[in-house]
Chains A and B, each alone.
Chain A
Amino acid sequence: MDANVLARIQFAMTIGFHFLFPPLSIGLAWILVIIEGLGWKKKNETYVAIGKFFGKILALIFAIGVATGVVMEFQFGTNWAEYSKFVGDIFGAPLAAEGIFAFFLESTFLGLYIFGRERVSKGVHWFSIWMVAIGSTISAFWILVANSWQQTPAGYVIRNGRAELVDFWAAVFNPSTLVRFHHTFDAALISGAFLMAGIAAYLILKKKETEIAKKALKVAVIFGLVVSLLEVFPFGDLHSKQVARTQPEKFAAQQGLFETQAGAPLSLFGIPSANPPELKMHIAIPKLLSLLTYNDPNATVKGLKEFPQSEWPPLFLTFTSYHLMVALGILFILIMGISVFYLYRKTLFEKKFLLKVLMWAIPLPLLACQFGWIAAEVGRQPWIVYKLMKTTEAASQNVNAGEILFSIILFGIIYLLLGSIFLFMLIRKIKAGPEPVKAKEVAL
């Protein structure tokens, strides 16, 4: 295999694994802001117990996120040196800003949140989880600034053989930044809500500290329903419209649309192929795509054939991952909707089957995040920076295939090991359950 393909596999693997953790820490941190706030204002020890229990889980998740994130910060230089030289004038700034405005904040205050409960006042302690949540969110913002600039570059000029910054704010708030930030940030909140709901559901099923678990489940499903609804409308809707406007080839690939047409149908299922260019076995609803995209059932939507085939993204991955993401998004509304319905009827805690569904649904938002990411990044191919630089031109020229293969195997083994140990410890921690309310402090 050539070095470029290997470099892409390496990047996909390391970022895919890393991207399992930040959504959970962002989501969990924000729910803990609510939980700790309730505990402080209501002087309710049950909320404090939830905070302590999920705080430990947050610390564990955060640690793996940090460990795998360090790799990301340096990988552009090690694996994508040509890309780094071409975009460094613009792309480096958001990464540095992320360090200054986000990493310091979240890392420093997480230490205070976890270890400082007895050392600082309750107000300062609540402030510390706020800072963790805000820090992790700012981090997501700057990463999405950098990545959105690859999707819809703005505020630059090509000079001295590279992209140079001319308008910082235009580059930061390029046409896709805010839409993609909202969409991704909300996905993180969903991931956090499902994690807390699932763990609480498990504790109720196992009759462990059910007082604590019920309160946690209540907060998590209400929060979860709100954020699941927001994810589809307005965030998902706005994001799709933006892609249609700014990256029509990607949009056509995600929707499996080959012919430019008025009154385009929305494909619910299908298997796209490039040769011959068609969507096999497809089920579609007439005119719906035009209606959703342009608020007009007869609007014209551009198909893939409008563009040279050399600029099409890989069709199967783009189409399938996009559709699976959307399907999961709708499933989240259903699960959280039904849960909130029974919560309102005061029978949620007896619905064994639903509690089991909630428990097994913990990994689904993470899966949706991965699908969304694949739809966005694979959908941008063959470009590493849309219409400016091809991915094939971007890899380091002084790194050979053997070296990249070495790092793929190395990180493959490490991540497999870390992932297994993480799951093992997380599950054991969950099984042990939270500490009972008002337990005496035991000196060790």
Chain B
Amino acid sequence: MIDLNTIWFLLVAVLIMGYAVLDGFDLGVGIIQLFTKDPDERRVNINAIGPVWDGNEVWLLTGGGAMFAAFPIVYATVFSSFYIAFMLLLTALIFRAVSFEFRKYSETPRSKKIWDMSFALGSTIPALLYGVAFGNILRGLPIQITDGKITDSVSFLSLLNPYSLLVGVLSLVLFTMHGSIYMTMKSTGKQQDKMVSVAGKTWAVFIILYFIATMATFFTAPFLFDGVLKKLIFWLLFILLFLALFYIPIGLKAKKFGRTFFASSLLIVCMVGLIGVSLFPRLVPSSVDLANSSLTIYNASSSQNTLTTMLIIALIGMPVVIAYTIYIYRVFRGKVVITKESY
């Protein structure tokens, strides 16, 4: 009963979850870097994600590629609509990507600090923009489909509406919390204590913001709640989300940092899952004509042949990817050790 289009909706959701969990913590470490004054702590931060961040970012590239392959209409429409925002995002990601190596080869503390800040801003801006983008998609874009022709016009300033900015701040806080929990596993001593405290505080802020954002969604995009409460999967994700959310302070207090990180990851997975459940089968709601002009998994998808081919590719490729990703994380598990090869 599950058709190919639905499977691809799930797969894209999984890629977004993978990206949000994995790059989520290293974006978070970048945000923390913005407020870390001690150069040694900054060095621990950057090396905590040094060997793995690049692999994490590939989830974004693969997500983009999968969107192009499975839902090309969404890829083309949304990306061109968000033109200026995308250029800013790419700028931030460029500076983030180069700052690791550039930091390594900088010789003075001052130039190292410059690249630390480039890494920090290059992480903070995307963390905010992802939320803003999701906010705009949730409330709907002014898409009009007439006789199969899609028209839309979105100005950069209209993307910065209060609701979307709220979701932006929410994602910023979420990633900061996720990153600080990751750092509790990677750092020691004073730095670790500090990270526990940051994680606790951002957790409190997150709960408040998440509540406000959910209320705001109810008023901004009520259609997202239509019929959702009848779905079993909604309640499953909802309960898991709450269990994960409330385990975080318990885990932090008990110093079970590995488990806390797992809870934080689960929280992110559930959040993305809930967004998916409320959107389904739409990918991008239309704010002009919700019923007829929204981009859905049917009117925005590739042909059945391409979806089948891509599914085979994903089924062959992704298990291998996941296997060696786990292997690499095992090799680099434990506290950060600074060596000659470090950044």
Q: Is B87 an interface residue (CB 8 A)?
A: yes
Tell me the residues in window 77-104 of chain B with beta carbons closer than 8 Å to chain A beta carbons. 77-84, 86-87, 90-91, 93-95, 97-98, 100-102
Residues of chain B with a CB closer than 8 A to A441's CB: 339-340
Residues of chain A with a CB closer than 8 A to B306's CB: 89-90, 92-93, 164-165
Do the beta carbons of A104 and B332 come within 8 Å of each other? no
B142 to chain A: closest CB distance in Å? Answer: 10
Q: Is A307 an interface residue (CB 8 A)?
A: no
Q: In this complex, which of B54, B67, B81, B318 has the most chain A Cβ atoms within 10 angstroms of its Cβ?
A: B54
Pick from B80, B87, B341: contact of A77, CB below 8 A: B80
Do the beta carbons of A418 and B94 come within 8 Å of each other? yes
User: B301-342 interface mask toward A, CB cutoff 8 Å, 1 = contact, 0 = none?
Assistant: 011011001100110011001001100100110000011111
Residues of chain A with a CB closer than 8 A to B58's CB: 99, 103-104, 107-108
B53 to chain A: closest CB distance in Å? Answer: 8
Number of interface residues of A (CB under 8 A): 75
Do the beta carbons of A88 and B341 come within 8 Å of each other? no
A99-B65, A103-B58, A107-B55 given; A396·B83 CB < 8 A? yes
Tell me the residues in window 395-422 of chain A with beta carbons closer than 8 Å to chain B beta carbons. 396, 398-399, 403, 406-407, 410-411, 414, 418, 421-422
Name the CB-closest residue of B to A100: B317
Tell me the residues in window 143-158 of chain B with beta carbons closer than 8 Å to chain A beta carbons. 148, 151-154
Do the beta carbons of A71 and B331 come within 8 Å of each other? no
Do the beta carbons of A116 and B51 come within 8 Å of each other? yes
Where chain B touches its partner, the secondary structure class is helix
Tell me the residues in window 192-241 of chain B with beta carbons closer than 8 Å to chain A beta carbons. none
Do the beta carbons of B76 and A88 come within 8 Å of each other? yes
Q: Is A168 an interface residue (CB 8 A)?
A: yes
Tally the A-B contacts, defined by beta carbons under 8 Å. 232
Tell me the residues in window 54-107 of chain A with beta carbons closer than 8 Å to chain B beta carbons. 59-60, 63-64, 66-71, 73-74, 76-79, 81-82, 84-85, 87-93, 95-101, 103-105, 107
Q: Is A1 an interface residue (CB 8 A)?
A: no
B288 to chain A: closest CB distance in Å? Answer: 14
Do the beta carbons of B68 and A115 come within 8 Å of each other? no
Where chain A touches its partner, the secondary structure class is helix
A73-B65, A99-B65 given; A164·B305 CB < 8 A? yes
Number of interface residues of B (CB under 8 A): 68
Name the CB-closest residue of A to B97: A67
In angstroms, Cα B154 to Cα A165, docked, is: 31
B174 to chain A: closest CB distance in Å? Answer: 22
Do the beta carbons of B54 and A165 come within 8 Å of each other? no
Do the beta carbons of A111 and B90 come within 8 Å of each other? no
Do the beta carbons of B55 and A108 come within 8 Å of each other? yes
Do the beta carbons of A63 and B321 come within 8 Å of each other? no
A398-B80, A444-B339 given; A71·B51 CB < 8 A? no
A81-B77, A406-B84 given; A107·B54 CB < 8 A? yes
Q: Is B4 an interface residue (CB 8 A)?
A: no
Q: Is A166 an interface residue (CB 8 A)?
A: yes
Pick from A77, A104, A109: contact of B68, CB below 8 A: A77
Residues of chain A with a CB closer than 8 A to B26's CB: none
Which A residues fall within an 8 A CB radius of B? 59-60, 63-64, 66-71, 73-74, 76-79, 81-82, 84-85, 87-93, 95-101, 103-105, 107-112, 114-120, 159, 161, 164-166, 168, 396, 398-399, 403, 406-407, 410-411, 414, 418, 421-422, 425, 428-429, 441-444
A-B contacts, 23 listed (Cβ < 8 Å): A66-B54, A67-B94, A69-B61, A73-B61, A77-B68, A81-B76, A88-B72, A93-B306, A95-B68, A96-B68, A99-B58, A108-B52, A108-B324, A110-B54, A111-B52, A111-B328, A112-B51, A112-B328, A115-B341, A165-B305, A398-B83, A414-B95, A444-B342
Apart from A81-B76, A396-B83, A414-B91, list 9 A-B contacts with CB within 8 A. A60-B105, A63-B101, A92-B69, A95-B68, A108-B325, A109-B324, A116-B51, A164-B302, A429-B105
